[in-house]
Structures are given as structure tokens and as C-alpha cells.
A and B are shown apart, each in its own frame.
Chain A
């Protein structure tokens, strides 16, 4: 039997939170590894940083900031659901988390281009 229909807002909020978390966990080691070159191999770090001028990389950065923001606001929504008795507005909070994340990632993108 296939899994039941999942097209309801909180299931989508759950999967966005999980996938953004996995993506951030995958990105983090790379991020740390590159930053650690600051003193030992500054030239190589500058090489990586120069890549960030490319438009394609800027879009990827927009994606990363969006992932970070959406994971944070989605997580704050979960904490509010679990630890504060704020229940009925969950769907609006989930939508708000996504909208705010988009706004923040957008602000980053506008600075970057």
C-alpha cells in the first residue's frame, strides 16, 4: 500500500525542515574545511571566495541562506507548538516561516549581486 496523501501544510513544513536540515549538515563540513584555510592557505581560500562572484554560485548562496533561514524559522515554529500553547495558528506560522526565510535570503541575494 502506498503512503497516504501528504498534501497538507504541516506535512510539507515537516519535509522542508528535514530536507533543509540534511542539506545544511552536508554543507557544513565543506564550509568549515574551506574557512580553516584562512591562515594556512589564504591564497586557496581567496580562490574559493573569488568563485562566489559567479552568478551561478550566487544563486547557490541564496539557496544556502534560504535553507538556513527556513530551518531556523521552521524550528522556532516547532518550539512554539511544543512549548507554548499556541496551537490553532500553526498553518499560518508555517507559511510565515517560509515567507520570512525568503525575505532574508532575498536581502542577502540583493547584497550579493
Chain B
């Protein structure tokens, strides 16, 4: 049974639109958006898949904060009945609440966020020490689901179009600490360019808003430390 009415404002291509959505005790922001699409305006475009916080496709701005909407309770974002939903910040809008994630993933690749292996399927499986310092550092960042919440939260991304952003740099940091990754110098070079880790101002919005409680700011600090060491050692 509905417990009241939510006043929902959605930023769309034609401007902000208001909808009255029945409120329930147990309701996520994604439920609200889905209700609008199913009962009020079937032309509303948005993106979701798993609904359980694994796929990273449903992130939106909710009352000016980037959130994974499938795991965000309405009660978490408003004390009253007003909810303002918009497309994720810092990315081009395709339509309504769906943004183009290409820049986000292109930067992931530009930061060398890909596996650089040396072994083939014929080699024995490499043993990894689960409690080594590097593995512990890598483990801290590998649960990233590429939802782009950190990228939307970051003011440095807003001001500096070339900046690779927190998610891509955190992935570079996990690979740098991965015993099975063979491209240490390539990664250090990739994060030392004009859009690299040195543009970060440690404002910490990435860490503050990561829905998985990861800490990209500290991962980026790790990259700064390693590139600085490398600079003193190699002079570049």
C-alpha cells in the first residue's frame, strides 16, 4: 500500500519534468524511475541491468549526489518527499538519464587499465601470495564495478577534460601492485602524462561517494608516490 506521494523532478532532454510517484516504505530510487517509465511516461530513457549493485549501469545524480540508484533507498536521499534525479555528471547525455560512458572507458584504457600478462595457457598457474603488501593494495581496489559515480563526483574531471579520473587511475594502481601484471613501466608512463594522476587535488569526493566504499584517492596517492620514486631513480 502506498504511504504517500513523492514529488519527483527528472532532468530530461527537454528540461526538468515533474512527476507524482506513489511512495512505499521499501523503495529504491531506481524503483521510482521505473515507476515513472512504466506508469507515467514510457518515453523516459534510463539504464539499469542487475538491480543488485553489481553491474554498475544505473548510476544517476540524486539530489545532486552521484549514486547507484538500485541500492539507494529513497529514505536515504530525502527526509521529505522531494527527489531530484538527473543524468550522471561529467559525461555527455545520450537521452534523459542515459549518459555516454565512452569517455569513461576510453580513459580506463588510456591509463593502461588492461591486463598485461606474460604467461600463456600452457604455463602453470602463477601462485600469488595473498598476504603480500602488493596483493593487499591491489585487493583494496579490485571491487570497482565501473559505475562512474567517482568520475561524476570529481571536480577535477569537470575542470580538466583530459584528466583520466579516479576509477581508471585506481585500476592502474591495482595492476601496478598485481604480481601477474608485467607492464609496470608502461603503467607508470600512462599515469604520468598530461591527464595523469598528478592532476588530482586529493579533494576526496571519489572516496566519499564510492558506493562500494573503495578509496580511489589513496590509490591515486600511491601512483603519485611510485611515479615520484621513479622520477628520482630514473630522472623522468
Binding site for B on A (CB under 8 A): 1-6, 8-11, 13-15, 17-18, 78, 81-83, 85, 87, 90
Chain B residues near A5 (CB-CB < 8 A): 64-65
Q: Is B221 in contact with A82, judged by CB distance below 8 angstroms?
A: yes
Across the A-B interface, give the 3 residue pairs with the lowest CB-CB distance, nearest first.
A10-B204, A14-B203, A1-B86
Q: Which residues of B contact A2 (CB under 8 A)?
A: 64
Q: How many A-B residue pairs have CB under 8 A?
A: 63
**For the complex, is B205 an interface residue (Cβ under 8 Å from A)?**
yes
B62-94: CB near A (< 8 Å → 1, else 0) gives 001110000000000000000000110100000
Tell me whether B205 and A4 are in contact (CB under 8 A): yes
Cα–Cα, bound, A14→B86 (Å):
26
Interchain CA distance A82-B217 in the complex, whole Å: 10
Residues of the A chain whose Cβ atoms lie less than 8 Å from the Cβ of B153: 4
With A3-B155, A81-B202 known as contacts, the answer to whether A10 contacts B208 (CB < 8 A) is: yes
Given contacts A1-B64, A5-B65, contact A82 B202 (CB under 8 A): yes
- A4 and B64 form a contact (CB under 8 A): yes
Q: What bracket does the count of chain B residues touching chain A fall in? A: 20 to 34
Residues of A within 8 A of B201 (CB): 14, 17-18
Beta-carbon contact of A83 and B225 below 8 Å: yes
Beyond the given A1-B11, A1-B61, please list 14 additional residue pairs across the A-B interface where CB-CB is below 8 A.
A1-B64, A1-B87, A3-B155, A4-B64, A4-B153, A5-B64, A10-B202, A11-B204, A14-B204, A18-B201, A78-B202, A81-B221, A82-B202, A82-B224
Answer whether A14 and B202 are a contact pair too, CB < 8 Å, given A4-B61, A82-B221. Answer: yes
A1 CA to B90 CA, complexed, in Å: 10
Inter-chain contacts of A13 with B (CB < 8 A):
203
Q: Which of A1, A4, A87 has the most CB of B within 10 A?
A: A4
Please give the distance in Å from B7's CB to the nearest CB on chain A.
Answer: 18
Assess the A4–B203 pair: CB atoms within 8 A.
no
Of chain B, the residue at the smallest CB distance from A85 is B225
Quick one: given A5-B65, A87-B218, are A10 and B86 in contact (CB under 8 Å)? Answer: no
Interface: B228 (CB within 8 A)? yes
In the assembled complex, how far is the CB of residue B156 from the closest CB belonging to chain A, in whole angstroms? Answer: 9
Q: Which of B180-236 contact A (CB under 8 A)?
A: 201-205, 207-209, 215, 217-218, 221, 224-225, 228
Q: Tell me which residues across on chain A come within 8 A of B66, comparing CB atoms.
A: 4
Taking a contact as CB atoms under 8 Å apart, the answer to whether A8 and B205 are in contact is yes
15 residue pairs of the A-B complex, CB under 8 angstroms, read A5-B65, A6-B155, A8-B204, A10-B202, A10-B203, A10-B208, A11-B203, A11-B204, A13-B203, A14-B202, A14-B203, A14-B204, A82-B228, A83-B224, A85-B225
Q: Which residues from chain A contact B221 at a C-beta distance below 8 Å?
A: 81-82, 87
